[in-house]
Amino acid sequence: MIVFWRRSYIIWQSLRSPKFVVTCKSVQSHWRTWHYN
């Protein structure tokens, strides 16, 4: 359970990082263009 909390905390920290946000947005836009074409 502690491992789970630690992992979720790491994920949460990475979610807050701007780098992840940029990556998520680029992947999202890429997925949209791929999906609609």
Residue 37 has pLDDT above 60, yes or no: no
- pLDDT in the model for residue 35: 66
The distance of Cα 33 from the centroid of its chain, to the nearest Å, equals 18
The mean pLDDT value of the chain amounts to 79
Q: What is the mean pLDDT of residues 15-24?
A: 78
Residue 1: the pLDDT is 66
8 A C-beta contact, residue 29 and residue 36: no
CA atoms of 19 and 23, how far apart (whole Å): 6
Residue type, 17: S
What is d(CA 28, CA 22) in angstroms, rounded to the nearest whole number?
A: 10
pLDDT of residue 17: 78
Q: pLDDT tens-digit profile of 1-18?
A: 678 888 888 888 877 777
What are the residue ranges spanned by the domains of the chain? 1-36
Question: What gap in Å lies between CA 8 and CA 12, rounded to an integer?
Answer: 6
Per-residue pLDDT averaged across 12-25, rounded?
79
